[in-house]
Chain A
Amino acid sequence: MKYLGVLLIASALLQGQALDPALLNKPLGESWPTYSGDYSGKRYSALTQINQLNVRNLTLAWVSRVTAGPGNAGGRGGGAPTIVGGEGTAGDTGGFGGTPNIRASILEVNGILYLSSPDNAWAVDARDGHEYWHYFWKTRGGTHIGNRGLGMWGNWLYMETPDDYLICLDATTGKERWHKEIANFNQQYFSTMSPVVIGNHVLIGTGNDLDEPGYVQSRDPETGEIQWTFHTVPMAKGDLGLDTWGSLDGARHGAGNVWIPGVYDPETHLYIVGTGNPSPAYTNPPSRAGDNLYTCSIVGINVDTGKMAWYYQFSPHETHDWDSTETPILVDGLFKGKPRKMVLHADRSGYFYVLDRLTGEHLLTSKFSDGANWAKGINEKGQPIRDVEKDSTVPGSLVSPNNGGATNWPPPAYSPDTGLMYVPTNDAFAMYYLTETDPRGAMGLGGKEEDGLGSLGSYLTAIDYKTGKVAWRHRYPGTGGNIGNGMLTTAGKLLFAGDAGGNLVAYNPLNGTILWHTHLGQISNAPETYMLDGHQQILVAAGDTLYAFTLY
């Protein structure tokens, strides 16, 4: 009953904290109501209170640590009640527990932060990091690689779980409203994606490492019922793209999973999202002969109907598990002197692309990774031409990037002040050995052995979309080779990023000059910003700990 009392108090505190849907259509500034802050994927905040002149005075506002699992231990944030849900038993033993590593985008709405790690969600006071509630999901299992964040609609929050449920929580209390199975656990799906709410659609996707087909799905925010499903691979005779596979069974086991949220163009009602690699990832059975549409592509899906308006495939018949799920960015600007509505994308394979987002028309391809050596050139459609000799081979192929990629899920950013896109990049090499010589190939990620050979360098890379060229890049010192963390840009002419050494750094977005830093240890998500009581805040996570910075 003590538990209930606490809940009631929390409930009273949190009255009237619902998300105003109008916020979602505004450019980023006062709050952070969705995965990328706004729908454009730019991670560019209009806030200017913290700027180049005063960033050196940025100071710690608070620190708060969260604790995962079924207990009520609480962190430094202070032992809020844990609400336990779930269909599994693993949580009883803490089997998938451990210290959370917050890789997620964190929502900030009306002074409250909503954050997540696999199986866990928290509401935290944005003014001092005090925990309001903690929700824990007892899992059936699934790959616990990360959770990318929560979606919000009115007073409801949405979270995916590694064992393939979409959970709806009451943002005020953390109490579960319902949960729905969104993928078949038996087929070894696992779900990490941050749900994105657009109008009355909750958009979701899942992951899979066993050849099973990828999809984007829209769910009703009130009931969780399916509104539409868009498969990224052909699923039936007559489906478009089937002629790019060796067989229907190959297509239906061709993956293309969608695990990073897309962006949204309110003008065209298109949800624009990157798709995963084809499967089996490293082997080439006859069933996968062809370009393997719509894997390693960007697709524009009408959010009302679930129908695809256009697609562009970056890597036909991809063979290194370099998916194309990295967040696209919507930019309006000049291209070759003409105003264009575009989408920019920096691909895990080391190439950068500009497309027209109204039509999917290809405008530009360039290579941003010095290492990338897997293509023989660019074809007339702007696609790198795969060098089959750089597939995994029995005697070994020396390939860059390594499996981790020239970039990966850590969110990129774009500043309209500079016209530059900011991407964490890495020029790593690996030997790729084919170990499965059965002509039927392996399943999933099997059949190859990869041996890392180190990196020529990891960088914060700024790309000029008009030319595709690297405008500047900052090499992280040392001889290692880790991809850095996600990015944030602001109208205060600042670029924030976690570097490879565990520092939160503010750079000049024009040239990469360092303006401020603080060492936090391993930074694990992309920095965010919002206003609170007239003071701009900068928020970042490092493992299980949140750090908020401000000017006093």
Chain B
Amino acid sequence: MIDREQVLHVARLARLELADEEVDRMARELSGILDHVDKISALDLDGVEPTSHVVALENVFRADEPEPSLPRERALEQAPDPAEGAFRVPSPGAS
């Protein structure tokens, strides 16, 4: 089970604003999904190596040669609020 408090905590971690009715629905739906998922928590998998990646690759290196990157103006083209060659955002401390 996951309750309203936990939903609000996780939503804050995920930087998601949830409307009041969304909080209840999310609590219900996540609890439903976790009921199914919880069965893996109960499995005895001691000593099994976790798989984070299926292709056996180690340390993919390339020569450290400078290459042109995306020009600044191209990188800023899609920005909602470009200013002075940078991305402008609201103040972190306004509230």
Interaction A to B:
no
Interface residues of A (CB under 8 A from B): none
Interface residues of B (CB under 8 A from A): none
